[in-house]
Amino acid sequence: MYRNLGNFELKIPKIVSKIGFQPSESVSTDLLHGQKVELFIKRLDKIPGESSGNKYFKLKYNLETAKAQGKTQILTFGGAFSNHIHASAIAAKAHGLRSIGVIRGELVYPLNPTLVAAKENGMIFHPMSRSLYKEKYKVQHLKEWMDIYGDYYLIPEGGTNELAIQGTREILDEVDTAFDFICVPIGTGGTFAGLYASAKSHQKVLGFSALKGEFIHQEIRELLAHHKLVGNKEYKLFSNYHFGGYGKISGDLIQFIRNFSDSSAIPLDPIYTGKMMYGIFDLIEQGFFPKNSRILAIHTGGLQGIAGMEQRFNFQLYP
Ligand SMILES: Cc1ncc(COP(=O)(O)O)c(C=O)c1O
């Protein structure tokens, strides 16, 4: 799938715009010069405070609504290494809400770094077998949790709903209208949908799926239709940069992430942003982007997941 990047050397990144907490940094490589394209990275991972990355935007209106509805706790779902579980625990605590995490599969002790942090932020874990987890939204389960824990505000797995998309519409701001391409990793598609909704008509949004399979094309079509976001803007999805599937890695990917981070001082995670960035460089090398294109890659965060991946695969991403 992937060809050698060639002369891959990033120069020191330069902060070119700073809107509140969201500086975009430009990166510069021989490859970019050769292809005459510019690449900027919007560092949502640098958002300080309760939870960073795309999660800040996805949770923002959900937590505000939970409080406005008089709820005192949220209930949400995810795997044991989930960025969403991690961020939900931290953000809920910061908003003065309790959090319950329905975790896919048995809890493994000692807890991994994601769950340790979630627990430290007060999250109560409700483990659910993998087979039952598939039907987690069934009314009987929702009622059972209500009986056990009391009333709660439900946030779906991955956090994508109407209010999450309302939040992710706020990722792009005025200065970003200068870009021709907006690139983002895709899990459930909520971040992609908000970006697509807020992009200008001259911009094309590119989504890089972290999951294996062509289903993502239909899923995104349905998501956009469901939220009435179908418009005359262009988008394109790439389903060939998953490296074997969700949470899977390869030596090639790890080497790329290390090279990129060594040269740019921008850390990437191996589940979402690393795969997207790999895809962007691969596309640049293939000449996908027309000359003089200005590309904006959204750094959606996820760096908390690195420690868990390292533990799981017994390696160090940044030795
Ligand atoms: C770091 C990171 N990037 C991207 C995504 C994908 O976001 P979405 O589920 O909105 O497609 C996620 C998952 O939520 C994530 O944790």
Residue 2 lies in a domain: no
CATH code for position 81? 3.40.50.1100
Same domain membership, residue 58 and residue 44: no
Residue nearest to atom 1 of ligand 1 (CA): 302
pLDDT at residue number 18: 38
- 6: Cα within 13 Å, side-chain hemisphere: 12
To test the ligand 1 pocket, which listed residue (76, 272, 273) has its Cβ within 8 A of the most ligand atoms?
A: 272
Q: Give the structural domain span for 96.
A: 54-159
Report residues whose beta carbon is within 6 angstroms of any ligand 1 atom. 53-54, 83-84, 158, 160, 185-192, 272, 300-302
Report how far ligand 1's centroid is from the alpha carbon of 147 (Å).
Answer: 31
* 3-state secondary structure at position 126: strand
Q: Which mean pLDDT values do the consecutive 10-residue runs of the chain (319 residues) have?
A: 48 43 74 91 84 92 98 98 96 97 97 96 98 98 98 97 97 92 98 97 97 97 95 93 96 93 91 97 95 96 94 91
- Quote the ligand 1 centre to 271 CA distance (angstroms): 9
| pLDDT value, residue 270 | 96
Claim to verify: residue 239 and residue 179 sit in the same structural domain: yes
- Domain end (from 159, 184, 214): 159
**Which residue has its alpha carbon closest to ligand 1 atom 5?**
187
Kindly state whether residues 202 and 154 are assigned to the same domain: no
Report cis status (omega within 30 of 0) of the bond before 110: yes
* DSSP element (H, E) containing 266: none
Supply the DSSP symbol for 123.
P
> What pLDDT, on a 0 to 100 scale, did the predictor assign at position 2?
42
Residue 154 CB neighbour total at 10 angstroms = 18
Q: Do 97 and 141 have their domain in common?
A: yes
Going from the Cα of 34 to the center of ligand 1, the distance in angstroms, rounded, reads: 31
* pLDDT number for residue 8: 54
Name 57's Cβ contacts closer than 8 Å, sequence gap at least 6: 44, 164, 167, 168, 170, 171, 191, 194
Q: Which atom belonging to ligand 1 lies closest to the Cα atom of 193?
A: 10
Is the residue at 114 inside a domain? yes
Q: Which atom of ligand 1 is nearest to the CA of 87?
A: 16
pLDDT number for residue 124: 98
Domain count for the chain: 2
